[in-house]
Structures are given as C-alpha cells and as structure tokens.
Amino acid sequence: MSIDRCEIIDLPKISDPRGNLTFIEGCHQIPFAIQRVYYLYDVPGGAERGGHAHKELHQLIIAMSGSFDVILDDGNNKKRVHLNRSYNGLYICPMIWRELDNFSSGSVCMVLASNYYDEVDYYRDYAEFMRARGQG
Ligand code: TYD
C-alpha cells in the first residue's frame, strides 16, 4: 500500500443559490462501505492529531469547515495534503502513517471509516509500523 493510492476524491457538488449540497454513498463515490463517522473540532491552534496507522481501516477525511494538512507516510515516501474544500475528500488506504496539523481556527475534520473503532487495528508506534511494512 503506497501513498500513491491515497488521493483526493472530488465529491459530487450540487450548486444552488440556496446553498450547495454534497453527498457521499458508501462504495459509490468512495471505495468502501461506511461503518463509522467521527469528527475533530475545537482543535486548539498548533495542535497535532493522528500520529498512527491502521492495519485494515480505509478512511476518507474531509475538511467540513476551515482547513488543515494531512501528512501521509508509507515508509518510503511522504506527502503533505492541504484540505480546505467540503466537496473534496482525502482517501487513505490501510497501512499509511498519518499526521494532521495546521488546523485553522474553527475547522472541522470529518472522517468516514470502513469499520467500527478497534484499538487492535492501530499502529501507534512508528518503529512497529515500519517493522510491519518490512522496512524497520
Ligand atoms: P485517535 O484515533 O488517537 O485520534 P486522532 O487520530 O484523531 O488523533 O483517538 C483518540 C481517542 O479517541 C482514543 O482514546 C480512542 C478514542 N476513539 C474512540 O473511542 N472512537 C473512535 O471512533 C475514535 C476515532 C477514537
């Protein structure tokens, strides 16, 4: 699983003078069925989130409001993705280390996930993640 598989998905946007509308259906606009939704909000300036990888979880990250950066790392390559549009989602495949920073004031980060919360699915130690990738 390389960071090349992690890409911005342009979600449908129904533009309307009354306000725009975007929708996401599991397995249609995104490559997994949605089992869980969670969101980060009231993030203080300078805070960092993430700092882990998932063994099997697929996720889509959306800046519902404001902006932030996601740093993706597959052990070989890293890339920083700036999210600031509520009609763009960043797809993250399993086995990618991610960090989130540069949160703007009042930003909301929504995450769609392919499974329920399970701590067993996490790598929280970077060295362990690298060993699991055969790169440690
Ligand atoms: P964590 O995944 O480390 O947050 P982030 O990656 O956004 O920095 O989770 C932080 C805490 O919240 C941790 O104690 C686990 C708990 N948690 C749940 O109980 N359910 C969830 O769906 C998520 C994502 C986290």
The total number of structural domains that make up the chain: 1
Query: Given a cut of 80, is residue 136 above it in pLDDT?
Result: no
Q: Would residue 52 show up in a list of annotated catalytic residues for this protein? A: yes
Q: CATH code at 128?
A: 2.60.120.10
The predicted-structure confidence for 98-109, as pLDDT tens digits, reads as follows: 999 999 999 999
How many angstroms does the Cα of residue 122 sit away from the middle of ligand 1? 10
Mean pLDDT of the chain: 97
% of the chain at pLDDT higher than 70: 100
Which residue, judged by its Cα, is nearest atom 17 of ligand 1?
117
Q: What residue numbers bound the domain in which 126 lies?
A: 3-132
Distance CA 55, CA 46 (A): 28
User: How many C-beta atoms surround the C-beta of residue 133 within 10 A?
Assistant: 17
H or E stretch at 92: strand 88-92
pLDDT score recorded for residue 89: 98
Q: Which atom of ligand 1 is nearest to the CA of 109?
A: 7
Q: What is the mean pLDDT of residues 19-39?
A: 98
Answer yes or no: is the C-beta of 38 below 6 A from any ligand 1 atom: yes
User: How many C-beta atoms surround the C-beta of residue 102 within 10 A?
Assistant: 17
Query: Given a cut of 90, is residue 59 above it in pLDDT?
Result: yes
How many angstroms does the Cα of residue 13 sit away from the middle of ligand 1? 29
